[in-house]
Structure 1
Amino acid sequence: MINKKLRRKIRKYFGFIYSKALAKYKERKYKEFVNNDITRLTPPISQQRIYYLGITEHPNLGDMGQHYCILNWISKNFPDSELLSFKSSTVVNPFVDFPSKLKTIYRPNDIIIFQSGYCTQDLGGDHELMHRMIIDKIPYAKILMMPQTIFFQHEKNKKRTSKSYNQATNMLFLARDTVSYNMAKEMFPNIEVQAFPDIVTTLIGKYTFENERKGVCFCLRDDSEKFYSDKELQNLKKQIEEIEPITTTDTTISTSEEKIRKNLQHYIEKQIIFFSKYKIVITDRYHGTIFSLAAGTPVIIIKTNDHKVITGANWFKGVYDDYVYVASDLKEAYKLYEQIKTKKLTHKLSPYFEENYYSHLKEIFYQLAFKEA
């Protein structure tokens, strides 16, 4: 066995060789994975195939919740269709030409479904590139773009996206907030755009909890979208902690994405059950809001650096008014907390979004995409 001192010396003097070797090894294994994954693009067996592209590749339970709900929606609405799911990193991979391979086997009755989320933007990630690569190669495809948040920093990127997406005349583009909807209507005059709530809202009204509720849960992000400083948030926590216990959590967890994906229902429902233990949730996470409502827990929403969370809350106005509150600042968040903690609520919400939106989505999509059939 090599002792620790010797190992440190080896890393110090030969670390660059090890790093290069490790990078080459990882690249080789990645190529092997992509090549194995791409072999699934064989000619379809069933009458119809669903290509679900851009499945979640990170352990954020909000995005995994979208993945879970999209799979449920596909299973419910296309029980006899063959489903193939791919990561965006496979679709855009430079080692294979996924779009060309898909084009050779795509048939007029097949459907492409793109993952929902903050995906039509130029802030990073490869989903927007994936969208363009597929649309540019198969502009006539029947495409369902699950609810998107749109944001572009650079006008040239916005124009590039607009030019590409506008080719997809058989695509239904769903925007998940009013800002994104208005931007989509401006950017995509050639395609059908509709405002649609995040698909995770289909979990609201599905569960009933009778357990005792104690304390306040802070579900807070720690990324570039975060608006308030740790110090500011800590001051709010201290105020509330003088009255009752608090817990701090996030919807991003340490469990690997592969492990979550293998047991999606378990991890999503575990998160909802967790929120059901509290009297109130305070969050700057959009899916923190939705999971709270699925748990029947009232939620106070605090702002982020973009429009996603605040404008997303507009979906709940007139539907769950006793359960959703938007705070203009942290002082108001505390006042709302004082107001809500005395309310007597049933914690049982109606399945409004499933009944009024997603139960009709297939029909809406078919009327557009299959209008010539």
Structure 2
Amino acid sequence: MRLTLQQLKAHAAEWLLLKVKYPLEYRLSRQSLPERSHQKKIILTLLPGHDNLGDHAIAYASYCFLKEHFPAYDIMEVDMKEIYRLARPLKRMRHPEDIVCIIGGGNMGDLYRYEEWTRQFIMKTFKSYPVIQLPATVHFTETKRGKREERRAIQTYKHHPRLLLMARDQTTYTWMKQHFPDQDVWKQPDMVLTLDESTKEPKREGVLLCLREDKEAYLTEKERQQLKQHIQETYDPVGLITTTIGKRVDRTTRLDELSALWTELRKAQVVVTDRLHGMIFCAITKTPCVVLRSFDHKVMEGYEWVAHLPFLTLLKEPNEATVKEAIHQLMKTSGQKGEEAG
């Protein structure tokens, strides 16, 4: 049975009660919305409120891209909390040329149900608007719940009359084309790849590890610990970083946090990561990187967009020996380039 809008709101409200409220000065105000009623707008929504910098980078890159390519539009960022509160006021202040853009990422599916339910709420609420789903990855699990959630999502997407779907990998593109033959479906890279955060660092040294410890990890906890120990015994220095930083980030603080992480990456001689945005951050900072697969197709198919970069190496079946050899080759290559430049 499909969720009603009231049920979607109830589920979201239950989830929002667990989250910290935004400071007053950060929240969009209903009173300020009428001031924009005569301005055509792009409502950029589904922005994250959690600590994953990969998702915040997607939001930031999407904002920058829209700002550059649609200068005549006012870009309004509305996150997951705000969209339930502001949906009705936004519709009241509608301009005829308004567009809704939903940020992309890996939360299309049943692994992150609150994000998926909010996506469906947006599509139902803004049914008369052009809606663009920016490049996303879909993953519905092969479970009874996963199949039920997939059917619900398909029905919601299918009934939006002006929906553009963007897939950031081939599996998602195939799924979208199969289920939505009458909708516009594009295959586009992750929005973060539109950024260039490379700068000349005085010296790169050591190895940085950026490994998952959640339900998307391909390596078991034992394999991950053994790999960490092996690298720490072989290289010096070895640092540990993560794209989930353990503190709340919003659109007012995201660039500071992202810039700090990108600076760390630019100082490393090699990064080892199984995170999609660990790989993408290395691509946009021009940091040598050994990429390990994740549990699904997301990393391996995402690699297709950056496979031409000589400083990124993908390991489909990683182990201690293959990781060590990949690090050695990247260090050797980067060292030779340094000598040539000198």
TM class by shorter chain equals 0.7 to 0.9
Q: Which one of the candidate residues 222, 228, 243 is aligned to 1:237?
A: 228
Deviation at 1:240, TM superposition (A): 2.7
Give me the TM-score of the superposition, normalised by structure 1.
0.76
Out of 299, 302, 310, the position equivalent to 1:312 is: 302
Task: Return the alpha-carbon distance in structure 2 between the equivalents of residues 89 and 346 of structure 1.
Answer: 48
Gaps of 5+ in 1: 1-22, 348-373
**Please, which of 121, 132, 135 is the counterpart of residue 123 of structure 2?**
135
| Stretch of structure 1 that moved more, 100-109 or 55-64 | 100-109
Give secondary structure in 2 for the equivalent of 1:343: helix
* 1:271-312 Cα deviation digits (max 9, x unpaired): 111011111111011111111122211111112222211221
Residue of structure 1 equivalent to 2:314: 325
Q: Cα deviations across residues 104-141 of structure 1 (Å, max 9, x unaligned)?
A: 43333001111221222112342222222232233231
- Residue 70 (structure 2) aligns with: 78
- Cα 1:31/1:38, change in 2 over 3 Å: farther
In 2, Cα distance between the equivalents of 1:35 and 1:263? 14
Matched, 1:122 2:71: no
Q: What per-residue deviation string (whole Å, max 9, x for no partner) do you get for residues 15-55 of structure 1? A: xxxxxxxx9xx79x969979975555437334311211111
**Match in the other structure for 1:282:** 272
The AA in structure 1 aligned to 2:295 is N
Q: Distance in 1 between matches of 2:122 and 2:228?
A: 46
Matched, 1:262 2:273: no
Secondary structure, in 3 states, of the residue corresponding to 1:54?
strand
Using the alignment, how far apart are the partners of 2:28 and 2:194 within structure 1? 34
Q: Distance in 2 between matches of 1:31 and 1:218?
A: 32
CA contact (8 A) 2:135 2:188 kept: yes
1:251, CA displacement in angstroms? 0.7
Instruction: Answer yes or no: is the 8 Å Cα contact 1:302–1:330 preserved in 2.
Output: no
CA contact (8 A) 1:108 1:142 kept: no
Please say which of residues 82-91 and 156-165 is displaced more in the overlay: 82-91
Q: Is the 8 A contact 2:40 2:96 kept in 1?
A: no
Distance 1:144-1:40 versus aligned 2 partners, 3 A rule: farther
Instruction: Report the 3-state secondary structure (helix = DSSP H, G, I; strand = E; otherwise coil) of the residue aligned with 2:328.
Output: helix
Structure 2 SS opposite 1:269:
helix
User: Aligned partners of 1:36 and 1:265: how far apart in 2?
Assistant: 19
Structure 2: runs of 5+ lacking an equivalent? 1-13
| 2:263 maps to 1:273 | yes
Deviations 1:117-176 (A, max 9, x none): 122211234222222223223323111211111011222221221111122332221111
Contact 1:327 1:336 in 2 (8 A): no
Q: Map of 1:153-172 to 2, 5 A cutoff?
A: 153=141, 154-172=146-164
The percentage of aligned residue pairs carrying the same residue is: 25
Q: Which has the larger radius of gyration?
A: 1
Q: Distance in 2 between matches of 1:336 and 1:315?
A: 20
Change (3 A) 1:121 1:38: farther
- In 2: Cα distance, 1:196 partner to 1:296 partner: 21
Residue number in structure 1 paired with 2:95: 107
Correspondence 1:1-373 to 2 at 5 A? 37-42=29-34, 44-92=36-84, 98-153=86-141, 154-204=146-196, 206-245=197-236, 246-258=238-250, 261-317=251-307, 319-331=308-320, 332-344=322-334
- Matched residue pairs, number? 314
- Which AA in structure 2 matches 1:178? Q
Q: Offset at 1:346?
A: 5.1
Separation in 1 of the partners of 2:315 and 2:22? 46
Conserved in 2, the CA contact under 8 Å of 1:298 and 1:322? yes
Distance 1:121 1:130 in 2: 12
